[in-house]
Amino acid sequence: MKHKNLFILGLILITSCSNDVAEKMSDEAKATQTYNWRLVTAWPKNYPGLGMAPEKIAQLVEEMSNGQMKITVYGAGEQVPAFGVFEAVSSGSHQMGHSGSYFWKGKAPAAQFFSGVPFGFTSDEINAWVYKGGGLEIWREIYEPFNIHPMPAGNTGTQMFGWFNKEINSLEDIKGLKMRIPGVGGEVFKRAGGIPVTLPAGELFTALQTGVIDATEWVGPYNDLTFGFQQAAKYYYYPGWHEPGSMLELLINKEAWESLPKHLQVIIETAAKAVNQDTLAEYTARNNRALRELIDVHGVELRKLPNDVIAEFKVIANEIMEENAAKDPTVNKVYQSYKNFHEEVSAYHAISENAFIEARNN
């Protein structure tokens, strides 16, 4: 019996050592093998700002990994439709995607908080909430059932309200108007009497030019000029109450993410953070120059929405946010985090950024 016990103990030790060796060899293999991933986007290939963000991520990852990881980027429609990005990453047919989270409100209503919320966070504020205020952890909880690991990957800053073929002088002018406007902004527009339409980027100009839609929001002067909206609409309205600081997202298939060695995960996270800031800097640097061209060269009429229209949109937006939170526990969880951080950061900005800008402009 004594010899038998020693034999069994020896087998256990041998098996344990073998498992440790196998695990170590597996880790070493993962650390040195090469990775070739595919990334699909919701944007036209190489489109300025939005479309170049994933290209820059791919370039940084390849350079920082010394070629160990290569990411091939595909524009909307090249492998999957613009609105098929989420499903492609979730299913694992593609390891990565780049998009805006409000496109997925039908799958995960709470996802909209991580793009643009009407009268919500500016770009700096949403970055602070996501990175330092608990937003990222909640975001990943929401996407986990879909087998997706998300992270910030760009920001357009405050957008324009959009392009119109008629003047907006009151809420009556909104009624019956067909406008491409996604997310919670689209819900607000609908309750105000308009007809929100969801279309991918590549279809917007033709839809506006042919009258399929009466108006469209897109991003801001930098991107709007590249699409030539000035050829299809006369009036350009601000402010972008619906998207005050729209964040873009990098989607990663969770199983693929967990298969990576730690150093490649860190490289991807670092690249995404760098591009998140670089994209915002690009829009900040390019928007006013493009706006001057739209006005001075193309004769676009820049208009501010009437104050009473903006005020009514704000009332409606608050109603919708409260209603959505009341009927969905997940939305409510995100909303409470968002709302609490919004109150906190707004209180400080009232005496810092906002006060300074008011002083500078007066």
Q: Domain coordinates of the chain in residue numbers?
A: 34-154+246-284
Averaged pLDDT for residues 222-243: 97
- Report DSSP state, residue 103: G
The per-residue pLDDT for range 155-187, each reduced to its tens digit, is 999 999 999 999 999 999 999 999 999 999 999
% of the chain with per-residue pLDDT over 90: 91
- Cα gap 126→133, rounded to integer Å: 9
Element of type H or E holding 163: strand 162-164
Averaged pLDDT for residues 140-152: 98
**What's the pLDDT score for residue 25?**
45
CATH superfamily of 34-154+246-284: Bacterial extracellular solute-binding protein, family 7 (3.40.190.170)
Compute the Cα dihedral for 334, 281, 57, 293 and give only its sign: positive
The per-residue pLDDT for range 29-51, each reduced to its tens digit, is 667 899 999 999 999 999 999 99
Averaged pLDDT for residues 1-14: 54
Contacts of 344 (CB under 8 A, 6+ apart): none
Averaged pLDDT for residues 82-100: 98
- Cα gap 316→318, rounded to integer Å: 5
- Cα gap 359→61, rounded to integer Å: 42
Averaged pLDDT for residues 225-229: 97
Q: How confident is the model at residue 22 (pLDDT cuts 50, 70, 90)?
A: very low
- Which has the minimum average pLDDT: 18-22, 112-116, 289-293? 18-22
What integer best gives the mean pLDDT of the chain?
94
The per-residue pLDDT for range 265-286, each reduced to its tens digit, is 999 999 999 999 999 999 999 9
Q: Is the peptide bond before 239 cis (omega within 30 degrees of 0)?
A: yes
- Cα gap 224→210, rounded to integer Å: 17
| Number of helices followed by number of strands (H, E) in the chain | 13, 11
- Cα gap 213→204, rounded to integer Å: 9
- What is this structure's pTM? 0.90
Selection from 181, 184, 151, 179 nearest residue 165 by Cα: 179
Q: Are 135 and 207 in contact (CB under 8 A)?
A: no
